[in-house]
Structure 1
Amino acid sequence: MHERKTYFQQLDYTLLFLLFLLMCISLLSIYSAAMAGQYNIDPSFFVKRQVIWFLIGTFLMVAAMLLDYDLFKNFTIPLYVVGLLLLIGVHFFGVERNGSQRWLGIGNNLFQPSEFVKIFLVLALAHLLFLITKDHRDRTLKEDLVVVAKVLAVGLPPFALILVQPDLGTALVIASIMGTMLLMAGVSWKIFAALGTGITFFLGTLVWLHNNYYEFFTNNIIRPHQLSRIYGWIDPESDPGGMGYQLLNAMQGIGSGQLYGKGFADGVLSKSGAVPEIHTDFIFTVIGEEFGFLGATILIVIYFLLFYRMIIIAFSCNNIYGSYLVAGVIGLLVFQIFQNIGMTIGLMPITGLALPFISYGGSALLTNMIAIGLVLNVNIRTRHYMFSSDETA
């Protein structure tokens, strides 16, 4: 026996409230960041555009929420193919900026196909895992290896196409989505240990090639500007005016905020123009400097509560396909947040990943709003039982 509730009763209002808080933090931070000397424009310019993106994103979120998520199975293959074609199109016709070719142009506007490919991949892997695991709860190690092989067969093509743009950050998000969904599928820990060992060996090989065959390494494996980012991350003090410039100023700004921050729009480093891309990739610097450790902690707690709600939705769903969808969204968002905040405080190398729901931008924000729509979709179609039954097992 289960309770029948309307869509409005089933909506996770806690999740929506947390999203609203992130929107407010985003608009305040972008307004403050727009005062930086590197822009010389009306601070409300970026805010107005971000409001438009939020409105469009809300519309897409509602659209993703209203269509029964079981119907997404019918569009899995077409969307996946479209995503791959867009990534191939970027390779041949893409717009290059800052050494990376990630965008396609439509008139005077640019969009980043790899952002939408994240959603397409979540749908594809959720459908795949649903088909190959729905009747196999207790699998052998050999069967788990087959599951991993099939997931890699679907996930590696977009991973490789994004990696060669080059866009390491987004490629790692793709890897995070695959890993999280395999974890949700209950794949043996032995396979994860083997994958971890393989990744460690691969990274060790890269270091060995760098140390012994530097010219081959820089010509065939990693571009000089990418390598400079790694140098700037490992030892920013060695070149404070070059490779380490952005990271050192970002950390100095965040550290100067101390406990309570300098106050809204009163950040010194944030306004000086010393931190490039401060309204996008490095917007956490604004939050750390102007709202201090307390403000940064509040933001991180909001993120934790957001994921807590998603985890509850994933495990309470009585449709394994819905659980996989939510797990994919968690994998999509968690790594981006960890990477973005980590790179501003020196824990991670600098990549071009935006801070979800906070950084200025269109493609990334729309993707994340659609992702939240998928989570809400799963929640409103989850039946909640008054008494336990075999159907909930």
Structure 2
Amino acid sequence: MQERKTPFQQLDFSLLFYLFVLMCFSLIAIHSAGAAGQYEGNFVQLQIIWFAIGTILMLSAMVIDYELFKNLSLPLYIIGMVLLLLVHFFGIEVNGAQRWIDIPGLGRFQPSEFVKIFVIITLAHYVFHLAKNPREKTFKSDIFVVGKILAIGLPPFGLILIQPDLGTAMVIAVVIFIMILMSGVTYRMISLIIGLFVSFVALLVWLHNNFFAFFTQYVIQPHQLTRIYAWLDPNANIGAEGYQLFHAMQGIGSGQLYGTGFTEGVKTASGNIPELHTDFIFTVIGEEFGFVGATVLLIIYFLLLYRMIIIAFTCNNSFGTYLVAGVVGLIAFQIFQNIGMTIGLVPITGLALPFVSYGGSALITNMLAVGIVLNVNIRTKNYMFGENE
């Protein structure tokens, strides 16, 4: 027997509350960065506009039954690939990266952000198709499954990587790996993939040490290599890429337990940390609100992801589960990468902190992702006596 609930009753208000708290963190931190003279213009008002647009799109994503995404997966994937090709041939270049399309009257548009959502939908549809057609789980069949997933995921990964946009490419790679896990391949295949990844990293290190000229010309961009050097030893690279990281870590460390106070951050106000309101927004929170403020932010992120995982587990439609799993991986990796790079845990890649960093394309993409999760939740049917078969 089914419990009848309206979509409003099914709406996950706790998820919306966590999102609202993150919005408050965002506006406070962006205001503080602006008060320090980090940029010209009122980015707080602009961020409110982006939040408003993102909310509208999030609600729009909730209206369409997510089952229809199955039929839209191929068209969306094709649109995403076309947009990435347009960026490759006609995109505008900023700071050595060609990632944007300039739309007259609307400004810059970064297609790779939306491609992340398109890849999640397309891979979720393929994995759902696998689940509907049970197969014999052998190593040979696993190779076919992984090959098909890679055939879908690697083209956008490659086009994004050559922009170059290593951060977004890594997000695509994480989504691909999660979908491989969700496809039900054996542990033997998972172990092989991890082993190949470790071997690839070892190969890169060997090329760096033995064929440096080839390595810097064909494998990695010089600025990406200097970022790795800065990550390994920020103190020795203060004059290069380590400049930003060194001052960011000092700022976060100076926050200590309770922080220096709102708009009272010394490093925040020094002007020594570029992109403070975007990529390095966590520095503002860490310095001005200290360990306590940073911990509260991390708890909110944990609760947000926890609710999404619960929605994935309670969904009685495997396609919905795969969609939510992809979104969880998308947001979780961005949180880890952004915070990790500001404290020196991982190299700097330029990924925004979800829902907190200032930005248009990234914020809207993450809001759309939450809209998909809410969509899955409000259409999950609850049964008193077991699940629907």
In the superposition, the TM-score normalised over structure 2's length comes to 0.97
- Over residues 185-217 of structure 1, what are the superposed CA-to-partner deviations in whole Å (9 max), with x where a residue is unaligned? 332222121111111111111111111111111
Count of equivalent residues: 388
Letter in 1 for 2:21: L
Q: Aligned residue for 1:34?
A: 34
Q: Aligned residue for 2:282?
A: 284
Q: State yes or no: 1:70 paired with 2:67.
A: yes
Q: Aligned residue for 1:369?
A: 367
**How do residues 29-178 of structure 1 correspond to structure 2 at under 5 angstroms?**
29-39=29-39, 41=40, 45-107=42-104, 109-136=107-134, 139-178=137-176
**Secondary structure at 1:280's aligned position in 2?**
coil
CA distance in 2, matches of 1:146, 1:36: 55
8 Å Cα contact 1:95/1:103 also seen in 2: yes
Letter in 1 for 2:287: E
8 Å Cα contact 1:99/1:225 also seen in 2: no
Q: Give the deviation of 1:137 after TM superposition.
A: 7.4
Q: Aligned residue for 1:319?
A: 317
**Secondary structure at 1:361's aligned position in 2?**
coil
Letter in 2 for 1:31: H
CA distance in 1, matches of 2:351, 2:339: 10
Q: Give the deviation of 1:362 after TM superposition.
A: 0.1
**Secondary structure at 2:163's aligned position in 1?**
coil
**Secondary structure at 1:34's aligned position in 2?**
helix
Q: Aligned residue for 2:258?
A: 260
Q: Aligned residue for 2:25?
A: 25
CA distance in 2, matches of 1:213, 1:313: 49
Match of 2:244 among 243, 246, 254: 246
- Over residues 336-388 of structure 1, what are the superposed CA-to-partner deviations in whole Å (9 max), with x where a residue is unaligned? 11000000000000011000000000000000000000000000000111122
CA distance in 1, matches of 2:78, 2:310: 32
Of 51-60 and 176-185, more deviation after overlay is shown by 176-185
Aligned CA RMSD, in angstroms, stands at 1.3
Match of 1:337 among 297, 311, 335: 335
Q: Aligned residue for 1:298?
A: 296
8 Å Cα contact 1:159/1:175 also seen in 2: yes
CA distance in 1, matches of 2:64, 2:381: 17
Q: Give the deviation of 1:183 after TM superposition.
A: 2.0
**Secondary structure at 1:104's aligned position in 2?**
strand
**Secondary structure at 2:356's aligned position in 1?**
coil
- Over residues 251-308 of structure 1, what are the superposed CA-to-partner deviations in whole Å (9 max), with x where a residue is unaligned? 0000000011111111110111111100000000000000100110111111111111
Letter in 2 for 1:110: R
Q: Give the deviation of 1:138 after TM superposition.
A: 6.6
Letter in 1 for 2:182: M
CA distance in 2, matches of 1:138, 1:19: 42
**Secondary structure at 1:25's aligned position in 2?**
helix
CA distance in 2, matches of 1:372, 1:55: 14
- Over residues 207-250 of structure 1, what are the superposed CA-to-partner deviations in whole Å (9 max), with x where a residue is unaligned? 11111111111111111111111111111111222221100100
8 Å Cα contact 1:134/1:320 also seen in 2: no
- Over residues 27-64 of structure 1, what are the superposed CA-to-partner deviations in whole Å (9 max), with x where a residue is unaligned? 1111101123442x35xx00000000000000000000
Q: Aligned residue for 1:358?
A: 356
Letter in 1 for 2:54: G
Question: How many percent of aligned residue pairs carry the same amino acid?
Answer: 64
8 Å Cα contact 1:181/1:331 also seen in 2: no
Q: State yes or no: 1:4 paired with 2:1.
A: no
CA distance in 2, matches of 1:65, 1:181: 23
Letter in 2 for 1:81: I
Letter in 1 for 2:221: R
User: Following TM superposition, where does structure 1 have runs of at least 4 consecutive aligned residues deviating by more than 4 angstroms?
Assistant: none
CA distance in 2, matches of 1:272, 1:90: 35
Q: Give the deviation of 1:141 after TM superposition.
A: 3.2
